[in-house]
Amino acid sequence: MKNKLLLIWIFLCQISFGQTPKSYTEPYRPQFHFTPPAKWMNDPNGLVYLNGKYHLFYQYYPEDIVWGPMHWGHAESTDLLHWKHLPVALYPDKLGWIFSGSAVIDKNNTAGFGKNAMIAIYTYHNDEIWKAGKKNTESQAIAYSTDEGKTWTKYKDNPVLNNSGEQDFRDPKVFWHEETSKWIMTLAVGDKIKLFSSPNLKEWQEESTFKPKDDDSNLGVWECPDLFPIKIKSNGETYWVMIVNHGDKAPNGGSGTRYFIGDFDGKKFTEIQKALWLDYGTDYYATVTFSNVPNDKKIVLGWMSNWQYATKVPTEVWRSAMTLPRELNLIKQKEGYRLTQNMIPQFDALTKSVFEQEKVVTPFEKTEIDLSQAEVNFTMEGGTDVIISLSNINGELFTIAIAGDIVVTDRSNSGKSDFHETFTAKPQVMPLGEDKINEVQLILDKSSIEILLNGGKYSMTNLFFPTEQFSILKIISKDDKPLQNLKIKSVARTWD
Ligand code: FRU
């Protein structure tokens, strides 16, 4: 009997972890984006590279498809596109649920857990204290792994940073600051970011508070900060970027991600220009970068959903996906500094051309084409007004209008939407300022679109739930202006 139970248990473990997830064919299941095998997922956590592997931990509730007591799920990849599921890394315990945080590689063994130990710095959220209406709900803690993230030990003297009396006190992102020989932590505290320093990840000292000047925007709770230096490739200048995620009132509703460009002196971050939104779609949140990536590349992942309706989207086995990993770069333009986001180069290896046309006369229409896993690219003379529609045989459609100084996406008739009133309440609008769009890239994966314009200067990420896959592409342009270099590619699934 005991043996039988053991065999059943081993069988179940194999299905869930480390093996091909046989179920990856459910309606709406992304085929080349990361999704958990089953159940609820939100933020990416502990993004870190070690010995040829990228580790993705994530907010995970393994018992239901809605948010609940948080764990850290775990997966790894050698190319950021093909992921292998691994057992849950961190379980809740008597100190609380395991909320978002980061992971570092302790190259100098500052914490004494071993040279090159992988150390997770996360938030404990104590739900009992929260329910009792008290403020000291959240504190920061650490756990370490000396076998590349396979097994984890929580530090015996947790928490390492106690609550300073604020209700929201979470999402530590930590990096090693060479100049001061200290770890720096950014932490979301209410509607500001606090910076702490530590020689060993165990004792933390408060250094400063970042609250932008003239920032009267009321953007809900501040979450998941990320501070890092980035070099402008064209002139070698380095600036610091502070990413901040906001729980509410993003430009197109609900949760969204902003960033500040500035300087960091080892203690304090000072912005040099007003915040910009990283993405104008509705479904790009809790965005953070990987630590320890070779050549200092900045690779960012976001949670492809929105707190407005994340727990209601019409998937049954699992809930939500990560965005594709994107490479961040900083550019300088006359209006100021700006991040660009582009697909990582290895993404191209997944694509295969299915249609190409150098000069495209509009109106253009291509029917019976599989747009459920596809990339569509084209270029045009800057300032050409176009409407692109992706539709299916049931007449459901998703449209993108690039017109004048705005881009507008509309999913009001894109399929299932009655799960939440905000999903189709209004179209999404992105301002372009003085810029003219001349390069369009669309990446479609079952129930999502990532729109990148002008070499990743502008991005919009949106979900949709059509009842049949999109199979018709139409493009019209004002005054029938021609388009160039239209390429439609299929994208291979990464779960074999
Ligand atoms: C952001 C967030 C974090 C928190 C986690 C809880 O989406 O609210 O602030 O740590 O999710 O799951």
CATH of the domain at 338: 2.115.10.20
Which residue, of 325, 343, 361, is where some domain finishes? 343
Q: Compute the distance between CA of residue 208 and CA of residue 203 in angstroms, rounded to an integer.
A: 16
Distance of CA 4 from the midpoint of ligand 1 (Å): 40
> Ligand 1 centroid vs 193 CA: distance in angstroms?
15
Residues forming beta bridges with residue 318, ordered by sequence position: 39
294, 323, 343 - which closes a domain: 343
**Mean pLDDT confidence for 465-490:** 97
Look at residue 3 in the predicted model and tell me its pLDDT: 53
All residues at 6 or more sequence positions from 17 whose CB lies less than 8 Å from its CB, including other chains: 37, 85, 86, 87
Residue ending a domain, among 305, 324, 343, is: 343
Q: The whole model's pTM is what? A: 0.95
Note whether residue 419 is domain-resident.
Answer: yes
pLDDT in tens, 138-165: 999 999 999 999 999 999 999 999 997 8
Q: Which of 58, 72, 98, 100 to mutate to test the pocket of ligand 1 (most atoms within 8 A of CB)?
A: 100
- How far apart are the C-alpha atoms of 169 and 149, rounded to whole Å? 26
Predicted pLDDT at 10: 43
Cα(432) to centroid(ligand 1), Å: 30
Res 14: pLDDT: 44
Residue nearest ligand 1's atom 9 by CA: 223
Same domain, yes or no: 267 and 243: yes
Per residue in 68-119, pLDDT (tens digit) is 999 999 999 999 999 999 999 999 999 999 999 999 999 999 999 999 999 9
Is 50 exceeded by the pLDDT of residue 444? yes
Looking at the structure of the chain, the number of domains it has is 2
Question: What percentage of residues in the chain have a pLDDT greater than 90?
Answer: 90
Please give the pLDDT value at position 399.
98
- Closest atom of ligand 1 to CA, residue 221: 9
- List, edge to edge, every strand of the sheet that includes 318-319: 84-90, 71-77, 53-61, 39-50, 318-319
pLDDT category at 215 given cuts 50, 70, 90 is confident
**Domain match, 285 and 388 both:** no
- Whether residue 406 is contained in a domain is answered as yes
Tell which atom from ligand 1 comes closest to the C-alpha of 70. 12
pLDDT at 12 over 50: no
Q: Is residue 125 part of a domain?
A: yes
Q: What residues make up the domain containing 84?
A: 2-343
The mean pLDDT value of the chain amounts to 94
- 116 and 244 share a domain? yes
pLDDT, residue 15, reads 44
What number does the ligand 1 atom closest to the CA of 245 have? Answer: 1
Torsion 205-159-167-44 (CA) sign: positive
ipTM topping 0.90:
yes
Q: Which atom of ligand 1 is nearest to the CA of 123?
A: 10
Residue 267 lies in a domain: yes
Residue 496 belongs to some domain of the structure: no
Q: Do both 47 and 159 map to the same domain?
A: yes
Q: Are 102 and 120 in contact, with CB atoms under 8 Å apart? A: yes
Average pLDDT over residues 24-35: 96
Catalytic residue among 43, 226, 283, 410: 43
- Domain shared by 201 and 70, yes or no: yes
Indicate whether 17 pLDDT > 90: no
246 in a structural domain: yes
Q: Are 135 and 237 contained in the same domain?
A: yes
Domain-located, residue 458: yes
13 and 157 together in one domain: yes
Cα of 380 to ligand 1 centre, how many Å? 40
Using CA of residue 306, residue 310, residue 313, residue 318, what is the dihedral sign? positive
Note whether 142 and 231 are same-domain residues. Answer: yes
Neighbours of 9 (CB within 10 A): 10
More reliable by pLDDT, 23 or 205:
205
Question: Is there a single domain that holds both residue 368 and residue 247?
Answer: no
Tokens standing for 346? 């290895």
Q: Cα of 43 to ligand 1 centre, how many Å?
A: 6
HEC per residue, the chain: CHHHHHHHHHHHHHHHCCCCCCCCCCCCCCCCCCCCCCEEEEEEEEEEEECCEEEEEEEEECCCCCCCCCEEEEEEECCCCCCEEEEEEECCECCEEEEEEEEEEECCCCCCCCCCEEEEEEEEECHHHHHCCCCCCEEEEEEEECCCCCCCEECCCCCCECCCCCCCEEEEEEEEEHHHCEEEEEEEECCEEEEEEECCCCCCEEEEEECCCCCCCCCCCEEEEEEEEEEECCCCCEEEEEEEEECCCCCCCCCEEEEEEEEECCCCEEECCCCEECCCCCCCEEEEECECCHHHCEEEEEECCCCCCHHHCCCCCEECCECCCEEEEEEEECCEEEEEEEECHHHHHHEEEEEEEEEECCCEEECCCCCCEEEEEEECCCCCCEEEEEECCCCCEEEEEEECCEEEEECCCCCCCCCCCCCCCCCEEEECCCCCCCEEEEEEECCEEEEEECCCCEEEEEECCCCCCCCEEEEEEHHHCCEEEEEEEEECCCCC
Percent of the chain with pLDDT over 70: 95
- Mark whether 307 and 401 lie in a shared domain: no
User: In the annotation, is 480 catalytic?
Assistant: no
For the ranges 3-17, 21-35, 226-240, 439-453, the lowest mean pLDDT is seen at 3-17
Task: Find the CATH number of the domain harbouring 454.
Answer: 2.60.120.560
Same domain, 406 and 337: no
Model pLDDT, residue 279: 98
Residue-wise pLDDT tens digits, 396-425: 999 999 999 999 999 999 999 999 999 999
**Residues with a CB atom less than 6 Å from ligand 1:** 42-43, 59, 70, 99-100, 123, 170-171, 223-224, 286
Q: Tell me which of 137, 193, 223 to substitute to probe ligand 1's pocket, judged by most ligand atoms within 8 Å of the beta carbon.
A: 223
Using CA atoms, how far apart are residues 290 and 479, in angstroms rounded to an integer? 45
Q: Is residue 265 part of a domain?
A: yes
Q: Strand order of the sheet with strand 153-154?
A: 97-106, 117-125, 138-145, 153-154
**Same domain for 220 and 125:** yes
